[in-house]
């Protein structure tokens, strides 16, 4: 349970973070909207969006964090907990678990190979974990409705998640990491195929946009490609044109 305690300290223990998070997400999450949290982990985004008045589908495959999410939100009728992973197609897959640092538990062996070249991951190890059920974004939309915002943070499996989406949702985010930037570029290519989007990015846990203006896919690609190898990770945000 040490890993769970670390995650709780990281996402709930920093003063003023919750307020900054609400201010940031208010541009994407109007009251009464539906949001998907793909890789809900310890649930800080779920808490944020509920305080903004949204309904939330929280998708998380790690059993320890499913239990935590159930304890935190199981009595909230506006939160639906889905104890599964999301991928390109329905089925099952194996989690690679980092017990001490569960924030980097992943379903991508290639991502593990990539980040192990980054010295910041020098003390991190992974072991095969449980097999989990995999669903697609399309199937979640068919079940719960079309979300106004989708957060995708699944440690190198983001492109697989987007491969299971065939409709251009209003707004979404996906994680990027310089050591595995090819994943982010694949996500960008998928969104270009789905529809017309504008882009911005937020480094680390800054909860602010790096650019004062929204940019097109070509410029976003250039920004990802020019990231220094040891730059911080962050999230790319995509907003469908016309919204």
State the CB neighbour count (10 A cutoff) for residue 184: 28
pLDDT at site 4: 63
Distance CA 39, CA 59 (A): 6
pLDDT at site 12: 72
Long-range contacts of 2-5 (CB under 8 A, 24+ apart): 2/99, 2/100, 3/64, 3/98, 3/99, 3/100, 3/101, 3/102, 4/42, 4/64, 4/65, 4/68, 4/102
Distance CA 130, CA 93 (A): 9
Domain spans, the chain: 2-240
State the CB neighbour count (10 A cutoff) for residue 39: 25
Name the packing angle between helices 63-73 and 2-12 (round to 10°): 50
Q: Do residues 109 and 93 touch, judged by C-beta distance below 8 A?
A: no
Strand order in the sheet with 91-97: 85-86, 127-135, 91-97
pLDDT at site 99: 87
Q: Do residues 90 and 135 touch, judged by C-beta distance below 8 A?
A: yes
Counted residue by residue, the chain has a size of 243
Dihedral angle of Cα 83, 87, 92, 94, to the nearest 10 degrees: -90
Q: Read off the pTM.
A: 0.94
Distance CA 105, CA 182 (A): 19
Would residue 33 be called left, alpha or beta, if left means φ above 0 and alpha means ψ between -120 and 50 degrees?
beta
DSSP state of 39: T
Distance CA 158, CA 167 (A): 16
pLDDT at site 5: 61
For each successive 10 residues of the chain (243 residues), what is the average pLDDT?
A: 61 77 96 98 95 98 94 97 98 93 92 90 88 97 98 97 97 96 98 97 93 97 95 96 82
Q: Are strands 171-176 and 234-240 parallel, antiparallel or unpaired?
A: antiparallel
Domain spanning 2-240: CATH superfamily: Vaccinia Virus protein VP39 (3.40.50.150)
pLDDT at site 128: 87
pLDDT at site 18: 85
pLDDT single digits (tens) 137-160: 999 999 999 999 999 999 999 999
pLDDT at site 109: 93
C-alpha distances (whole Å) from 42 to each of 7, 37, 58 are: 7, 11, 10
Q: Do residues 94 and 131 touch, judged by C-beta distance below 8 A?
A: yes
């Amino acid at each position: 349970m040490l890993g769970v305690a670390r995650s709780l300290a990281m996402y709930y223990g920093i003063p003023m973070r919750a307020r900054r998070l609400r201010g940031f997400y208010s541009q994407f999450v109007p009251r009464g909207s539906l949001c998907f949290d793909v890789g809900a982990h310890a649930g800080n985004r779920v808490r944020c969006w509920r305080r903004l008045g949204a309904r939330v589908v929280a998708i998380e495959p790690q059993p320890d964090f499913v239990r935590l999410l159930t304890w935190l939100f199981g009595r909230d009728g506006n939160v639906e907990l889905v104890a599964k992973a999301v991928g390109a197609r329905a089925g099952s897959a194996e989690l690679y678990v980092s017990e001490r640092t569960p924030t980097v538990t992943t379903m991508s062996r290639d991502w593990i190979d990539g980040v192990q070249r980054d010295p910041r991951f020098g003390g991190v190890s992974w072991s095969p974990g449980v097999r989990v059920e995999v669903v697609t974004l399309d199937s979640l939309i068919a079940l719960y409705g079309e979300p106004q915002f989708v957060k995708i943070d699944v440690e190198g499996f983001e492109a697989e998640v987007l491969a299971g989406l065939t409709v251009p949702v209003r707004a979404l985010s996906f994680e990027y990491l310089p050591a595995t930037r090819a994943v982010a570029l694949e996500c960008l290519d998928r969104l270009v195929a789905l529809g017309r989007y504008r882009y911005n990015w937020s480094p680390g846990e800054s909860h602010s946009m790096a650019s004062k203006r929204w940019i097109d896919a070509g410029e976003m690609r250039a920004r990802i490609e020019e990231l220094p190898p040891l730059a911080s990770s962050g999230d790319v945000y995509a907003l469908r044109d016309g919204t």
